[in-house]
Amino acid sequence: MTETVTGKVVITDPAGLHARPAVKLTKLAKSFASDIDIRAGEDGGWINAKSPSAVMKLKARHGTTLHVRATGADAQGGVDALVDLVKRGFG
């Protein structure tokens, strides 16, 4: 039984989660076996971080707090990697 790991990070990229960051984020999420979800702000609904379509429709813009949660063997690694990617401005 694995537990759920969570993390959060503020989007600093001026354009927010537009096409390029959305693709980068989902590609990174897909490199982990765990289920990884994200949401925009406290009240947003969780969406699959491995789906570019869902990530794009999140409309997460500059200044939004992105919440990450993962469940699975490599959950901690997945959360850390995604948070780090957003922190780096998707570089």
Partner 1 sequence: MGQRAEQIFHGQPAAGTMAKGPLHVLPGTRQETAAPAAGEDLAAALERARSELSRLIGNEKGAAGDILEFQLALLDDEDFLAPVIKRMAAGEPWRKAWREMLEEEIATYRDSGDEYLAARANDLRDLQMRVLGTDQDMSGIGRGAIVVAADLTPSRFLQISRLGVSGIALSGGSATGHVAILARERGINMIVGLKTAVETLPDGEQALIDAKNGLLIVSPSARTLAQGAERMAHEEKERKAAQAMAKKPAMTADGEPVRVLLNAANPDDLEEISPEICDGIGLTRTEFLFSDGLLPDEETQTRVYERILAWARGKPVTIRTLDAGGDKPIAGVTADGERNPFLGLRGLRLSLRKRALFRRQLRALLRAAIHGELKIMVPMVSVPEEMVQARAQLEKARQELEQRNVPYGDVSFGMMVEVPAAALMAECFDADFYSIGSNDLIQYTLAAERGNPEVSWLADGCNGAVMELIARTVRAGRRLGREVSVCGALASEPAHAACLLDAGVRVFSVAPAMAGPVKLAISRHAMAKGSKNK
Residues 30, 26: Cα–Cα separation, whole Å: 6
Identify which range of 21-29, 38-46, 70-78, 80-88 contacts partner 1 by CB under 8 A.
21-29
Q: Candidates 37-45, 47-55, 69-77, 80-88 — which segment interacts with partner 1 by CB under 8 A?
A: 47-55
72 is a contact residue toward partner 1 (CB under 8 A)? no
Does position 65 interact with partner 1 (CB under 8 A)? The reply is no
CB–CB of 29/88 below 8 Å?
Answer: no
Alpha-carbon Rg for the chain in angstroms: 12
For tokens 């995604």, name the residue: 82
* 53 sits near partner 1 (criterion: CB under 8 A): yes
CA distance 1 to 53: 30
Residues at the site binding partner 1, with contacts judged by CB under 8 A: 14-16, 18-20, 22-23, 26-27, 48, 50-54, 56-57, 59, 61-62
